[in-house]
């Protein structure tokens, strides 16, 4: 019997909808966002000998604090300063979120489960991610404020600092797998029985560091640089607009972390049998678990590091990470020639 | 880390000061132990300061003015210090007195760069004009402050009690 | 009065081309230097996450600071004028509000200057008690500065740790004086309270804890690769400049000048104690951090010695003790707490003047008091260490990168309320 809601449910369960909007996309992304920020604050608090979020839902350690914060963002008046370019100012936060969410369509979430299957998913995801800095620079320009302008320039500098290393290290790993399709890469790792990080540790390391720079997490939160430029490109935003731009950077970290796990930590392996037969996307639960643990590690760095200076981060990018990623490419090449 | 050097204090500084500054100073006194004052005319301030620097007093702790309203005079003084081991306990006050209605002294920031901010403060708080000071802008007061410099004795402080009489204020 | 004095390059402490010096000059959004090159002007503060109660007008050429002009005075409380309107004793609670985190050290030289004029000397036990509180305050002042330095490079752990650990010293001071921050403990003639029972054990426990924590600080912050990268060779102050600009405190000693007002003035119990003045030669921001760490250790060493050597005897000068009615005097002897007689407010030093210097956590504080023989001072001049160090904003930031500004700010430990008085 066909129920009245069945077409809708079927539509939702189609990969091309489910993947960008439910898992790994927007919905789970939102859950990740809310729990990750809570975990970040809780972990930092633990290191710093204090409680962290506590008073909203005291029984579960203030876990609902982020929901309260999100609600506050929703109901706060978004102030639109007079000097801003109104269209750009209002459009860019939504645009930033859009380009952050788009890559989910191409990221395989489970064995043979992907929103839109393309054989070039790796460059596609990275290229879409590379659009974010463009939006942020536009945002900085549109807000027409001195701090946002400096933040925008910093974003431009940082982009050229990490993007090269990010791409080369990703392709160095892909070189060994002889494919640019993320799901094929996971299969390759399965057939080898080794995660990519062991096959090419240098590429994995460079990708991870470049990823921290890309999502401006400590020690590379230079673009936001509170102590110099207030909130960088986001200075003029308030209310839900600020919530959007802040959430976008966490979501981007989540996107890159999914790619990292698929490339270097053998993705959804080991597959838990049975889950995949309920619904194919559930087969990717290990992918999610690995990603989440690594995300926790990435945000934990807040408790340990300060912020690097812009020129130091740039020289790290160009003088260390780019040569290292080239070495990683040579390493992959060597492995191929040696026929390992 | 080096040990503390012995706290030897230079002896006979008063004689040294008299020898060095005797020809331009109007008065050299030992006010308290380790505290000497040298009074000069405004015209020989720069020269006196230069000689003090030669003696080792290479920076000032303070520049200040005292408004002697009864004598109609403004005392402007520079308190010089030194980080030299044998001079570090000593403070020398180099001062002059100028007419209160037009207090003008040469700036000493070419001799003592450390005098810059305190001279700026003395300018705004007491109205002493340091001729040659390149940056006499308001420092602590609002940049649009006008009126009697607040540290002058004829500046009247408006006192507001705990209970403000609103009716009286409205009448005014 | 705006003529530009001729200046040799040696004494040129910050008037480069492009600095516009006329009073009343209004900053344009984009300035130009002497060659007509455009400079980017940023106003850091007074409403800014990391400016404190001040403004720094920064002019940038790309990422390089051409000129930074500190604009202070946002928390000016007219302390010099106010002190002219009140009796000598009443100025003590006023002055300690200049540096509320270091209130014993900022008022001690004032009290000493008043004592000099009155011809009173505090008994030996009072001197030891003053030293004890001064060193407790010094530690908490350094920890405060340390926390801010941490958050200036977004190292929130250092910020939280040192502010949390500062609490121990604040509570220790409360145990001794009855107040957390505004102690008004040091008064002409002695101190307000005797050493409480069981203080020594608490202090030793705090020292043991702090020694352990300092090692943690070194691991997570001072020798953290990020911190070293940010602080080393940033904001270098040479020995000559430090001396010529009259820089004070740890900033001076990090540049290789061995000077400390505690040694120079030989006040309190310091001449009888064994401690070192930490000095470093590098003069960079990292050296300034390390000097502060070392000073915390030395302060703990002093506290230990003070507690061991604490002499018996009165803690308030006999001259003023006699003002107290005999019944109350018994109360004082029993409780160890001075209840000041009303006559005490009318301290009347003879006409004359006195100067006194003292070493605060931030550096040397200078007082000059002019008396006309009245119950109120004719003029009190206070020069706080922050006010003497404010020139460093201009001197050290020149040629530094824009992101170095918070590092320099943190490393010179500038405290705006203290600079503004």
pLDDT tens-place string over residues A220-245: 888 888 888 888 888 888 888 888 88
**What's the pLDDT at C22?**
39
Its domain, for residue B59, covers 13-171
pLDDT at B4 over 70: no
**What's the pLDDT at B171?**
54
pLDDT at C144 over 70: yes
Domain assignment of residue A102, yes or no = yes
- What is the rounded distance in angstroms from the CA atom of residue B119 to the CA atom of residue B116? 5
**What's the pLDDT at C142?**
93
pLDDT at C141 over 70: yes
Domain assignment of residue B28, yes or no = yes
**What's the pLDDT at A61?**
81
- What is the rounded distance in angstroms from the CA atom of residue A69 to the CA atom of residue A74? 9
A49: contact with C, CB 8 A cutoff = yes
Q: Of C143 and A194, which is predicted with more confidence?
A: C143
pLDDT tens-place string over residues A257-268: 999 998 888 878
Q: Which long-range contacts (CB under 8 A, 24 or more apart) does C346-351 make?
A: C346/C87, C346/C375, C347/C87, C347/C88, C347/C89, C347/C114, C347/C118, C347/C188, C347/C375, C348/C373, C348/C374, C348/C375, C349/C88, C349/C114, C349/C117, C349/C118, C349/C373, C350/C117
Q: How far is C230 from chain A (nearest CA, A)?
A: 7
Q: Of C23 and A280, which is predicted with more confidence?
A: A280
DSSP C123-146: -HHHHHHHHHHHHHHHHHHHHHHH
Q: In this complex, which chains have at least 3 CB pairs below 8 Å with chain B?
A: C
Q: How far is C157 from chain A (nearest CA, A)?
A: 5
Are C381 and B141 a contacting pair at CB < 8 A?
A: no
Same domain? C327 vs C350: yes
Domain assignment of residue A1, yes or no = no
Chain C environment of B130 (Cβ under 8 Å): 1
| H or E stretch covering A88 | helix A86-101
Domain assignment of residue B94, yes or no = yes
Q: pLDDT tier at B166 (50, 70, 90 boundaries)?
A: low
Domain assignment of residue B5, yes or no = no
Between chain B and chain A, are at least 3 CB pairs below 8 A?
no
Mean pLDDT of A277-295: 82
CATH of the domain at C251: 1.10.645.10
pLDDT at C33 over 60: no
- What is the rounded distance in angstroms from the CA atom of residue C239 to the CA atom of residue C252? 8
Phi, psi dihedral angles at B28 (to 5 degrees): -125, 125
Same domain? C321 vs C397: no
Same domain? C287 vs C242: yes
pLDDT tens-place string over residues C214-227: 999 998 898 988 99
- What is the rounded distance in angstroms from the CA atom of residue C303 to the CA atom of residue C207? 9
What's the domain count of chain C? 2
Its domain, for residue A174, covers 6-338
Comparing CB atoms, the residue among C155, C160, C406 nearest residue A50 is C160
Chain B environment of C78 (Cβ under 8 Å): 150
**What's the pLDDT at C167?**
92
Same domain? C398 vs C362: no
Its domain, for residue C344, covers 85-377
Query: What is the complex's ipTM, to 2 decimals?
Result: 0.84
**What's the pLDDT at C106?**
92
Return mean pLDDT, chain A. 86
Domain assignment of residue A329, yes or no = yes
**What's the pLDDT at B77?**
92
pLDDT at C375 over 90: no
Domain assignment of residue C176, yes or no = yes
**What's the pLDDT at C23?**
40
Same domain? C358 vs C260: yes
Residues 193-222 of A with CB under 8 A from C: 218-219, 221-222
Check whether the bond before A26 is cis (ω within 30° of 0). Answer: no
DSSP C96-127: TTTTGGGHHHHHHHHHHHHHHHHT----HHHH
What's the domain count of chain B? 1
Return mean pLDDT, chain C. 84
pLDDT tens-place string over residues C325-346: 777 777 777 777 877 777 778 8
Q: Of C125 and A116, which is predicted with more confidence?
A: C125
Q: How far is A149 from chain C (nearest CA, A)?
A: 11
- What is the rounded distance in angstroms from the CA atom of residue A98 to the CA atom of residue C341? 74
Same domain? C179 vs C61: no
What's the domain count of chain A? 1
pLDDT tens-place string over residues A35-87: 898 998 899 898 888 888 888 888 888 888 888 888 888 888 888 888 888 88
Domain assignment of residue B6, yes or no = no
Chain A environment of C151 (Cβ under 8 Å): 227
**What's the pLDDT at C36?**
59
Q: pLDDT tier at C205 (50, 70, 90 boundaries)?
A: very high
Count of H helices and E strands in chain B? 4, 7
- pTM attached to this predicted model: 0.86
Mean pLDDT of A293-315: 89
**What's the pLDDT at B167?**
66
Q: pLDDT tier at B7 (50, 70, 90 boundaries)?
A: very low
Domain assignment of residue B4, yes or no = no
**What's the pLDDT at C6?**
37
Same domain? C131 vs C4: no
pLDDT tens-place string over residues A106-142: 888 877 778 788 888 899 999 998 899 999 999 988 8
Q: How far is B109 from chain C (nearest CA, A)?
A: 9
């Amino acid at each position: 019997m066909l129920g009245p809601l069945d077409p809708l449910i079927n539509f939702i369960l189609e990969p091309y909808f489910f993947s960008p909007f439910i898992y790994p996309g927007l919905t789970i992304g939102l859950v990740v966002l809310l729990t990750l920020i809570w975990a970040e604050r809780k972990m930092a608090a633990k290191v710093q000998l204090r409680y962290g979020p506590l008073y909203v839902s005291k029984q579960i350690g203030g876990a609902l604090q982020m929901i309260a914060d999100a609600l506050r963002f929703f109901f706060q008046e978004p102030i639109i300063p007079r000097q801003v370019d109104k269209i750009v100012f209002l459009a860019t936060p939504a645009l930033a979120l859009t380009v952050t969410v788009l890559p989910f369509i191409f990221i395989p979430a489970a064995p043979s489960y992907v929103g839109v299957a393309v054989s070039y998913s790796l460059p596609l995801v990275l290229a879409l991610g590379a659009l974010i800095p463009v939006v942020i620079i536009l945002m900085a320009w549109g807000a027409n404020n001195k701090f946002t302008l400096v933040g925008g320039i910093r974003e431009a500098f940082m982009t050229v600092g990490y993007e090269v290393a990010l791409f080369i290290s990703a392709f160095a790993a892909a070189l060994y797998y002889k494919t640019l399709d993320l799901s094929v890469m996971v299969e390759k790792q399965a057939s080898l029985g080794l995660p990519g990080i062991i096959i090419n540790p240098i590429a994995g390391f460079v990708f991870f560091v470049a990823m921290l720079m890309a999502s401006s997490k400590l020690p590379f939160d230079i673009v936001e640089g509170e102590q110099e430029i207030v909130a960088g490109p986001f200075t003029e935003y308030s209310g839900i607009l600020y919530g959007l731009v802040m959430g976008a950077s966490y979501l981007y970290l989540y996107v890159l972390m999914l790619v990292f796990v698929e490339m270097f930590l053998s993705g959804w392996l080991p597959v838990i049998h049975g889950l995949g037969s309920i619904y194919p996307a559930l087969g990717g639960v290990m992918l999610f678990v690995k990603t989440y643990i690594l995300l926790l590690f990435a945000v934990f760095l807040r408790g340990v590091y300060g912020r690097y200076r812009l020129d130091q981060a740039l020289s790290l990018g160009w003088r260390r990470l780019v040569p290292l990623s080239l070495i990683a490419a040579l390493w992959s090449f060597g492995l191929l020639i040696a026929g390992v | 880390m080096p040990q503390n050097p012995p706290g030897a204090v230079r002896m006979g500084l008063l004689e040294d000061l008299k020898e060095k500054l005797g020809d331009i100073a109007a008065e050299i006194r030992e006010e308290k132990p380790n505290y000497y004052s040298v009074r000069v005319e405004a015209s020989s301030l720069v020269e006196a300061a230069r000689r003090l620097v030669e003696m080792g007093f290479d920076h000032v702790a303070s520049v200040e003015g005292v408004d002697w309203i009864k004598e109609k005079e403004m005392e402007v003084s520079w308190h010089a210090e030194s980080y030299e081991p044998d001079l570090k306990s000593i403070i020398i006050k180099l001062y002059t007195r100028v007419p209160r209605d037009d207090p003008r002294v040469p700036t000493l920031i070419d001799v003592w760069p450390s005098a810059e901010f305190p001279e700026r403060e003395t300018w705004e708080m007491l109205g002493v004009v340091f001729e040659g000071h390149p940056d006499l802008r308001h420092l602590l007061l609002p940049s649009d402050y006008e009126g009697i410099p607040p540290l002058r004795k004829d500046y009247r402080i408006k006192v507001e009690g705990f209970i403000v009489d609103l009716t009286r204020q409205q009448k005014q | 009065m705006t003529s530009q004095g001729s200046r040799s390059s040696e004494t040129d402490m910050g008037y480069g081309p492009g600095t516009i010096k006329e009073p009343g000059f209004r900053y344009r959004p984009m300035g130009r230097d002497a060659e007509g090159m455009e400079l980017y002007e940023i106003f850091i503060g007074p409403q800014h996450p990391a400016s404190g109660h001040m403004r720094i007008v920064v002019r940038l050429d790309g990422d390089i600071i051409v000129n930074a002009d500190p604009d202070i005075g946002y928390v000016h409380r007219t302390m010099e004028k106010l002190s002219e309107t009140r009796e000598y004793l009443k100025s003590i609670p006023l002055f300690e509000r200049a540096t509320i985190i270091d209130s014993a050290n900022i008022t001690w030289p004032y009290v000493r200057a008043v004592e000099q004029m009155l011809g009173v000397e505090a008994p030996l036990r009072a001197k030891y008690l003053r030293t004890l509180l001064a060193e407790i305050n010094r530690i908490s002042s350094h920890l405060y500065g340390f926390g801010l330095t941490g958050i200036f490079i977004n190292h929130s752990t250092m910020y939280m740790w040192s502010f949390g650990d500062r609490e121990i010293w604040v509570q220790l001071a409360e145990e001794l004086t009855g107040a957390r921050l505004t102690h008004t403990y040091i008064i002409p003639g002695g101190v307000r309270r005797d050493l409480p029972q069981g203080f020594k054990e608490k202090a030793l426990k705090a020292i043991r804890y702090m020694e352990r924590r300092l090692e943690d600080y070194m691991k997570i912050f001072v020798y953290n690769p990020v911190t070293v990268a940010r602080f080393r060779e940033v904001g270098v102050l040479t020995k000559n400049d430090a001396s010529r600009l009259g820089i004070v405190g740890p900033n001076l000693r990090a540049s290789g000048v061995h000077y400390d007002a505690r040694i120079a003035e030989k006040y309190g119990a310091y001449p009888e104690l064994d401690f070192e003045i930490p000095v470093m030669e590098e003069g960079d921001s990292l050296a300034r951090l390390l000097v502060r760490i070392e000073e915390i250790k030395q302060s703990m060493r002093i506290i230990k010695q003070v507690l061991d050597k604490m002499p018996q005897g009165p803690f308030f000068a006999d001259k003023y003790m006699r003002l107290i009615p005999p019944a109350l005097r018994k109360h004082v002897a029993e409780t160890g707490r001075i209840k000041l007689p009303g006559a005490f407010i009318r301290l009347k030093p003879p006409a004359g003047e006195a100067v006194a210097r003292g070493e605060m956590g931030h550096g040397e504080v200078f007082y000059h008091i002019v008396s006309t023989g009245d119950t109120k001072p004719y003029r009190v001049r206070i020069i706080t260490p922050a006010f003497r160090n404010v020139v460093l904003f201009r001197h050290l930031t020149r040629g530094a990168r824009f992101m170095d500004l918070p590092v320099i700010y943190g490393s010179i430990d500038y405290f705006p309320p203290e600079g503004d008085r």
